[in-house]
Structure 1
Amino acid sequence: MRLYNVRFIIAGIIIGIFYWFIEGLMHYFFFDFEGTLMENLFYPIPHELYMRILIFGLLVLFGIYSNKISRKRARDVINTERNRLYTLLDNIPALVYLQAKDFSIRFANQYFREKLGNSINKKCYEVLFNFNKPCNNCQISRIFVNKTPIEVEWESKRGEVYQIYNYPFEADNKELLALSLGFDITKHKRSEKALKKSEFRYHILFDNMLEGFARCKIITDNHDNPIDFIYLNINDAYEKLTGLKREDILGKRVTEIIPDIKNYKPNLFEIYGKVALTGETAKFEIFFDPLKIWLSISVYSFKKGYFIAILDNITDRKIFEEKLIESEEKFRTIAEQSVMGILIVQEGIIKYANESLSKINEYSIQEMMNWSSSELINIIHPDEREFADERIKKLSLGSKEIPPNNIYRMVTKSKKPKWVNVYTKKIQYQNNEGLLTTVLDITEKKEAENLIKDELQKLKELDQIKDDLIRRISHEIKTPLISIYTTTNLLLNVYKEEFSNKILDFIILINEGGERLKELVGNMLDVYDLESNKVKLNLKTHNLVDILEMSIGILQSQIAKRQHKVEINLPHEVYMEVDYDRIKQVFMNLLTNALKYTPPQGKISVQLQENNSHIDITIKDIGVGFTEQEKEKLFKKFGKIERFGKGMNVDSEGAGFGLFIAKQLTRLHNGELILKSEGRNKGSTFTIRLFKQNQIINNQTIY
């Protein structure tokens, strides 16, 4: 037992001993003058001895009693604090649990119980992983060996991801436990995955940008001061602007590539570091000495510690500005001849205004020279005055954060609104600082833009009217067509014997024309529905081999008529979830296309092959084939390649909807339509590739 736990008993004994000695000394000095000091201290008379022993015993008993009371109070305080701790842990919106060395869970808070049920005294590997034995290389078990915190990630059976922090925890009975705190980071993880999926699309976008683009990572010292950065990615435009090549800079520090970059003005490390570490945006201009060009650089941060720099070559504009400022006489000559309005303001007073500005705002130069700063702002539209005033004040103070260019609405002297593009820059004029402002009237451009927008909207409305008209006409034609087609079928099949051969020829001609028109109307309606996203697939599991064989059977009369040889290489059965009618329509369109564009007595092969990730249905012919230019047109609406009158002995009937519909329906089935042809008169191969579930596909047609 530690001395601290018996401190009150020891105190009672010490006080008793102290009392014994005091009592002996008092007897020696005040009451018993005959006895010696040793006799009074250690050999008192009997009644005095009994009294001392009694009082000594009472003091020791008092110490024992006080010790019991103290320990009881301590236990009460510990129980109270433990209950408060468990109450606090119980209300934390995170997984909180205590785990023993034998993997049993001793405590679980309310959040844990709601997510995983009551798990007290159950094994952690049973509750968390649904295992029947401890995990291999259990990281948490290291707490009981090293007594150091451990951080792990855990994904629940429901797909929730938790960041779990594990700490050593000593229970009241001195047992070492592992205290685990788990925070839900599912949204964060999903965001990371979504970001990774979108990276490919961003790469395409950035590679085609006209401006230079660079993605970089900032490097800091121990005090979080930016000292360097690493190139992670650049686009083609960045290479052209800077002369730096991907293979020479990616993954390298910029100080290795451009050693004197630390001497650049403005300080690039300060600007890039501020953006990467704070998330603020920045835009500035810099002279790139190796290529002797001026660059406008916009900087953004997509993640702490990283930044994106977008570069634009502004050398032409900078050269113009510098030459403008070099000589006031040259400046005035250029200014007076310029179509841009030019204004110089110093300390709120207009020092110079050219004739072009007067023509734009309709005020005379003399009127403008007498304006105060507030009157100058009043020519800006009321809705934009406050913003313009604040911007001018910041530019006057030399702010680098304000972009020099902006577009405003100006109110002229005749109260006519005009759109102007305003560029403002701080300059030295007559040995004093001032603001140079150029004003370009872009009213006609804005009106043209608005006119274009209106015309585009009208075109969209006309396009919609066209689509609606086609659909209505198609529906109106469809009903009498069906009547004509069914009636002629009835005459040919039931009353054939009652007509002469000449009349039968006319009936057959009407029937065939009705069939073609019915097919054309059906195709037009399908095209409308596909473009309007109105086609909904009725997906069910079907044997693709059966559908393919049925499609070939329907076309037997056409095959026989053109004396084609059809080679079929199909397995017994291949099942897949498809829309029966729509996938059959795809097969029919491609088979019909092969029959039409293969000269008589040609060979057509049909093959179905199943792979791990997809199923390929291949239809190959030895027909007229396609050039590269024809391939580009083939899958568009009205993308028919005209063969009539070219001596190819092929059937050129049709409006050019078949392959467009086949491609769109294949895409709806999460598939792709692939065309291969080596050129004119070298045949063609169409492959319908249907991807199995959970396969990533490329929706583009492959040539």
Structure 2
Amino acid sequence: MFNRKLEDFVNKSLFDIFPNQREAIEEYLKINRKIIETGIGRQYEMTFDIDNKPQTFLINDQAVKDSEGKGIYVVSSSIEITERKLFEQRLKESEEKFRNIAEQSLMGIFIIQDDVIKYANKRMAEINGYSLEEILNWQPKEHYKTLSPESLAFVEEQGRIQELGNSDISSQYPLQIIRKTGEKMWVENFSKIITYEGKPANFITLSDITDRKELDQKLKESEDKYHLLFNNSPIGIGLSTIEGQIIEFNEAIRELTGYTKEELNQLGIPTIYSDQNERVKAVKILREVGYLRDHELKFKRKDGTEFYGSLSLDLVEMNGLEIIQSTLKDITDKKEVELELRKLNNLKSELLRRTSHELKTPLVSIKGFSDLLLEVHRDKLDYYVISTIDEIKQGCLRLEALISDILKTAELESGVIKLVKSREDLSFLIRLCVNEVRGFSDLRNHSLELEIPENLELNFEKEQIHQVINNLINNAIKYTPKNGKIQIKSQIQNEKVLISVKDNGIGLSLNEKSQLFKQFGKIERFGQGLDVIPDGSGLGLYISKKIVELHGGEIWVESEGKNKGSTFYFTLPLHEN
């Protein structure tokens, strides 16, 4: 044990045997003297450096006494326990590491043995809402009070299965616990059988998953609502693959088409399209844009009858796959009404066109003869007759303008008008329009201000946009009292050219602004004592709106109210789409 021969110990002092261990030997002798004095034996550990190698011994010293009970000498026995001490040291370090990790862990950790909690960390106490002292003093199975009734039943069932020796038990599962405050929360429970202090024990960790469970619950509720809406929606809803394989559709789709899911998967989705190429076109738009909205098409039922449907498509992700979500509404009644209204509108437009042409014929005669009387026979007529004929001629001009507007309106409403665009200088056209109304403006003593670039080229139909600009400037002149100010500006905004015509005239109310761009939406100003020229058909702004929209632009008006002026705006695309 000491790596020495027996003769090395005979008649030798400990200082001779272990010359380098003076301090340890002195301590050992000190203990021995104490034992002799008291007569009381002692068991203790000491470490000696044997041949430069530390060795630990468990020493048992007992006093040998004389007849009077006094200690005479000490009988000493020792066992080397170096390996055991190293093991104990490693075990202690391991336990310290475990405790350090456990105490800093975000998970609740505890050890149960014989239904009693033998160890619990701080996080475990925080999760349950009890103090560590309370938890470690619980009676056997008292920790069950922290489980909800449903979770308790599950845990007890797991225990029964384990007692029967069945290894088919869950080691990880969610539990609902009841905190000391009565608050309920969800935890993820992980358990493992370990050996603790020489006996089997349950090593258990708890993680707070309340937020996740609430999210799962909301997701489930959302899915339940979706399926409720999906199955009960009066609008047809379906899910399919890009290739056309149907995943699911609701009862409304079946009622609309007459097909079952199996039948459509066998025949293919294009079967329900009157023109089967339309499905290819719809999917192409969906891939390019990402969605399709209210695409109106003809569909065919299983019995061969057709119906108009409004189709919307969205790309959604399901289990990592791109899925098409389709909605289909039957709009047959709406389309039939639209077609009937279109027919009536075309009939109205045709009636207006024919009536206007019929009115034009006698109007040309009246105007022609009025000109003849004034030019050829003026010297034979007195002042009264000339004034009367002038009034007839002016009436003809007004009626001619009205007929022209009606014909233009009918043409725009017919939907057959085709724009003939060309590359034009919009700045030049604006200056031309200003020059054309310069005389009219001077009569009203208005100032006309221009803020436009030297050149502004884009594609538009010159005659049509000329009519829009001319109409807006004329209106500004007419509805601004004398000595007014009119500003015409242009600027580029978001790939569009913005034109504005601003005046400091009589302004508009909110209700008047909403009326302006309708057919015959003229605001009546006659007899109100305003210094304005209130003539006009009430079709000019309606025509302007239609022309601008045909060009892909917008038109609107802004005004702060009565007598606060107005600004009319319209836009044109800077580039062709």
Shared fold by TM > 0.5?
A: no
TM-score, L = length of structure 2: 0.43
TM-score, L = length of structure 1: 0.36
Higher relative contact order (Cα pairs below 8 Å, separated by 6+ residues):
2
